[in-house]
Amino acid sequence: MAKGEGKSKDVVTREYTINLHKRCHKTTFKKKAPKAVKQIREFAMKMMGTSDVRLDVKLNKAVWSQGIKNVPTRVRIQVSRRRNDNEDAKEDMYAFVTVADDQTTKGKGTVVVADA
């Protein structure tokens, strides 16, 4: 089996904790929140294996809640891989990222919320 083969592209929803402090370290103040959003998008792309990543408005508000300079240290997100209904789409799946309901991060790892 070659590298990249064997990954099934099923509908799945998982919860992750992202350490934004680590990912935005040594970034200019006025670029921290935009970089955090890009890092979340990149993380979801890597975890779900799709190039089409869509962010929820609630997640964007959570990242920007303390302003452009003071990004939250950690954020708990829920990433779900969904089927693309659009016929013009390049891929058949996309990743939808939203903020998790419970933002406590102590002792929580990756949790599979729903599996198809």
Domain boundaries, the chain: 12-103
Tell me the CB-side half-sphere exposure of residue 56, using CA atoms within 13 A: 13
- pLDDT of amino acid 21: 96
Highest mean pLDDT among 68-72, 90-94, 102-106: 68-72
Instruction: Give SS3 for 22.
Output: helix
pLDDT digits (tens, 9 = 90+) for 26-59: 999 999 999 999 999 999 999 999 999 999 999 9
Whole-model pTM: value is: 0.88
Q: Which CATH number fits domain 12-103: 3.40.50.280, 3.40.630.10, 3.10.440.10, 3.20.20.210?
A: 3.10.440.10
- pLDDT of amino acid 6: 45
- Residue 8 banded pLDDT, cuts 50, 70, 90: low
Query: pLDDT over 90 for what percent of the chain?
Result: 74
- pLDDT of amino acid 66: 96
Stated as kind and residue range, the H or E segment containing 112 is strand 111-115
Work out the average pLDDT over 57-82.
96
